[in-house]
Structure 1
Amino acid sequence: MTLGLGWIAWIIIGGLAGWIASKIKGTDAQQGLLLNIVVGIIGGLLGGFLLSLFGVDVAGAGWIFSFITCLIGAVILLTIVQFFNRAKK
């Protein structure tokens, strides 16, 4: 995924995607605004990387595609974190 959207757009998209992903995965009570943004941005990078492995051109795809990519990546990221947290217990 390209970082061409600008840092303010990444904060907005990342925050929304991270928040919705935390609602989907049931981790919203454990996360604050900053962690939602971080999860969304890292999820966007993860989602962009995974989509590029399948040959999907994610650069310049627009806001909606970027949001969906961030959301899917954030859900995957939270799933991985939950798996390792359960394995530690």
Structure 2
Amino acid sequence: MESKIFSYKVEGITLEPASDLLSISPVFDRKEVLNKLKDLFKDDDYKIDERTLDYKIKDGQLYIEGVVAKQAEAKSIGFMMGK
């Protein structure tokens, strides 16, 4: 099975200081971001392995990292019956 790793920069989701000890991001919908990410790989027949998703903050910017795998063609098994 062909696989790739990815790192996706989520535009507009950056940490802003709320106090000296706390930084907060703006509100965002994780499912909406995930759907955008799935659309990026759909044309290449890759599917995101959601178990591998990792949300990371680098320099105050949100990144989503994980693994995508090539969709294997479904194989069908047929049975022939004779009478």
> Same fold by TM (over 0.5)?
no
User: What's the TM-score bracket when you normalise by the shorter of the two chains?
Assistant: 0.3 to 0.5
Could you tell me the TM-score, scaled by structure 1's length?
Answer: 0.36
Q: Which has the higher strand share?
A: 2
- Structure (1 or 2) with the larger CA radius of gyration: 2
Q: Which has the higher helix share?
A: 1
